[in-house]
Amino acid sequence: MNTADSERLSSILSGLGFSESKNADDANIVVLNSCVVRQSAEDKVTGMLTSLKSLKQRSEDTIVALMGCMVGPKTKALETKFPYVDVFMKPQEYEPLINLIESQMGIDTTGCLSNLQPVKPHISTHVPIIHGCDEFCSFCIIPYRRGRQVSREINDIVDEITLLTKRGVKEVTLLGQTVDAYGHDLASSTDLSELLQSVNRIDKLERIRFLTSHPIYMSNKIIDSIANLSKVCEHILLPFQAGADSVLKNMRRGYTKQEYINLVNKIRSQVPNVSMSTDVIVGFPGETQADFESTMDILEQIKFDKVHMAAYSPRPGTIAHRTMDDDVDLTEKRKRLKLVEQLQEKISKEINASLIGQCFDILVEGKHRNRWFGRTRTNKLVYFDSEDDMAGNVVKAHIYESSPWSLNGHVQDSEPDAIRGEQHGY
Ligand code: SF4
């Protein structure tokens, strides 16, 4: 979500004539887009803010802005701690910076906020479809910082993606904190499956992804859309967070372990070859050894393709911080995290090794360390070598090597799309 917000701010600034600078020292404007979902992320932002102090002393005309989830009810405290920061902006609140640019630099900014689409979007681009979240999971700060759920209208989203395809975008990832709750707050009572059908009709678009899903909103209609719409990719990020029902209840997640497992089984029966990712927190208040083993059990049973894992860290302002003791000590949290890491590495290794010898369509996104990379429909990262310019093409890759994190492939069909299209008469 932060990446999408940064892209939008970048498009506003490029509309005003600014271009990207390689480093902060050469910049007229430095914007730090902050994330506070975990303590480690917040610490990183604080460290970078501290390092910007000397830059501001050297060049006092440089505008330093702090944007994102760190800016909230305690902005006054931030102003005191970081007096050299010129402007503080909540998520998606671009106006204070634009106003400062106008007053300090004398630039006419009229109308610059009316079009927020990225000007030079990446082949695979994020499109926020919901802002905020209504769930108030007890450990999470997001609803307090990004506000309540507000869905965008379908027409607005379809128009934006159509324009993005004209600028070269081949794949979109529809974003929401609870993306499968899309539309529930709209008067038109639509839902994510209807949005997916509309986006699926956009001509030049190759692929559609969406994240993050919440188990309680993953409806049969949405599962049908993944199974039946040609552009919707077979990959779902469906956080389960913890294996024990008592912990899930304290987290206010709204489902039990068995309900989660049943949902995954239903998805797998209706969407063959679907890949599943999840989020897990270990060491939540009250998590016993038996509770943790229940988390390990769910990982063993389901065998996710990818797991985003974290040790619980209390976020001031959340329900858990206010009402629960952070009673699992740090050493134990680290131990549990390590066990999850080791188990998941073994599972990912086995899953990826089973793909050796198979062939997949890869949407090529770019180059990294001189090798082309792209992803399968199931979100597997594939590297391959080619002398041709492959960016934006869908190519067939034959997998010959794997690791827990990525695959290596040989490209079988390296013809650019245009040539392939001519040969097939379309
Ligand atoms: S669903 Fe829960 S974890 Fe996700 S953003 Fe909303 S409150 Fe946070």
pLDDT at 422: 30
Query: pTM for the full model?
Result: 0.87
Ligand 1 pocket test, candidate residues 131, 178, 321, most atoms within 8 A of CB: 178
pLDDT at 136: 95
Contact 127, 162 (CB under 8 A): no
The CA distance from 89 to 84, in Å, is 15
pLDDT at 112: 78
Contact 409, 383 (CB under 8 A): yes
Angle at CA of residue 40, ends 35 and 43, nearest 5°: 75
Ligand 1 centroid, distance to 217 Cα (angstroms): 13
pLDDT at 238: 98
The CA distance from 394 to 62, in Å, is 43
Give me the average pLDDT of each 10-residue run along the chain (426 residues): 87 88 91 85 89 90 92 84 92 90 89 74 93 95 90 95 94 97 93 98 97 98 98 98 98 98 98 96 98 98 97 93 97 98 98 97 95 97 94 96 97 50 29
Ligand 1 pocket test, candidate residues 140, 175, 312, most atoms within 8 A of CB: 140
Q: Which amino acid is at 166?
A: K
- CB of 254 sitting under 6 A from ligand 1: no
- CB of 177 sitting under 6 A from ligand 1: yes
pLDDT at 426: 24
pLDDT at 115: 66
Phi-psi region of 159 (alpha: psi -120 to 50; beta: other; left: phi over 0): alpha
- Residue 412: what are its φ and ψ, rounded to 5°? -85, -40
Question: Residue 85 is encoded by which pair of tokens?
Answer: 């920061």
Domains of the chain: 2-105 (3.40.50.12160), 124-353 (3.80.30.20), 359-423 (2.40.50.140)
